[in-house]
Structure 1
Amino acid sequence: MRDEDQPQAGRFLGAEHRFAVRVYFEDTDLSGVVYHANYLRYMERARSDMLRLAGIDQRATHDAGEGAYAVADLAIRYRAPARLDDALLVVSRVIAVRAASVVIHHTVRRGSLVLAEAEVTVALVAPSGRPKRQPAAWTDIYQSLIWQGTNS
């Protein structure tokens, strides 16, 4: 498969990851606006691609039986609705790193208008279901991505 035929993974602008998404009919509810849970889907896709681009191989860790990330905490605020065919941008920033978890702030925008914001804590969980220390290489990557407030 050629590069241009690959799914879009967003891009880094400094420590900030930017992921574009389009609102499709399936994303909307009967009132014609994006259903509230779909903002979480957009953020999950952005976060997954951010980690992949940064060099964190979640699939290899899972396939090796070493665990997987799980959402441990989530706070979201909805500010304005998105509608069918809107072009949105999910901006993701690492804001804290701990031994077994990382905190990522997501902002969903339409142009300069903020539609939703969330702070998500994901924890590495062993197959037993217990939190597990992240690999040192991962925490190093996260430390290099900690948001310093220099991009917009």
Structure 2
Amino acid sequence: MAEHDPDQPSLDLPTGGRFADRQHRFPIRVYFEDTDLSGMVYHANYLRFMERARSDMLRLVGVDQRGAHDAGEGAYAITELTIRYKAPAKLDDALVVVSSVIRVRAASVDIQQRVMRGAEILTIAEVTAALVAASGRPRRQPKHWVEAFERLVRQEIEGK
């Protein structure tokens, strides 16, 4: 049996996203279950695509959502969402969800997300995720989470 090359993704692990500069890029394939009777992606499924991409982005910057929840430190809740649908995705389309942190506050983070087919924007959204305690009340994000998000925001400013 051949030894696993660490530079090659394992075929046994799910495909994840990656960062290109400050933008997180998460690949999605449109399957039959994602479409409605017309053969286009059902509107609510774009939210699922974005949720997967956000979760992957958070994991890659060092935010351990499961660990925080299990330790009783809270969990993220979506407190605001604005979405605009521009063009439909269809069965078997290869899409990329592009996520960018645009603002960080003590208890929340604002993220812009675009669902792309090549260079075409299909859907664009702005999402606010707030860290909340088990009681449902907002709480401060851990310092290292805030610092990771701020690095992504600064990278955008320095890159302009």
TM-score class normalised by the smaller sequence: over 0.9
Q: Which residue of 2 aligns with 1:82?
A: 89
Q: Which residue of 2 aligns with 1:70?
A: 77
How big is the shift at 1:35? Answer: 0.3
The whole-number CA distance in structure 1 between the counterparts of 2:102 and 2:24 is 12
The whole-number CA distance in structure 2 between the counterparts of 1:94 and 1:8 is 22
The structure that has the greater radius of gyration is: 2
Match of 1:145 among 125, 149, 152: 152
Q: Does 1:8 align with 2:15?
A: yes
CA contact (8 A) 1:28 1:83 kept: yes
CA contact (8 A) 1:9 1:53 kept: no
Residues paired across the two proteins, number: 150
- Opposite residue 152 of structure 2, the aligned amino acid is L
Q: Which residue of 2 aligns with 1:24?
A: 31
TM-score by length of 1: 0.95
SS in 1 for 2:156: coil
Question: Please, what is the CA RMSD of the aligned residues?
Answer: 1.4
Q: Which residue of 2 aligns with 1:107?
A: 114
- Opposite residue 148 of structure 1, the aligned amino acid is E
How big is the shift at 1:148? Answer: 1.4
After superposition, give the CA deviation of every residue in 1:99-140 in whole Å (9 maximum; x if it has no partner): 000000000000111100000000000000000000011000
How big is the shift at 1:11? Answer: 0.3
Q: Which residue of 2 aligns with 1:94?
A: 101
CA contact (8 A) 1:9 1:50 kept: no
> Any gaps of 5 or more consecutive residues in structure 2?
none
CA contact (8 A) 1:71 1:121 kept: yes
Identity of aligned residues (%): 64
How big is the shift at 1:72? Answer: 0.4
> 4+ residue runs of structure 1 moved beyond 2 angstroms?
none
How big is the shift at 1:14? Answer: 1.3
> Any gaps of 5 or more consecutive residues in structure 1?
none
TM-score by length of 2: 0.90
Q: Which residue of 1 aligns with 2:132?
A: 125
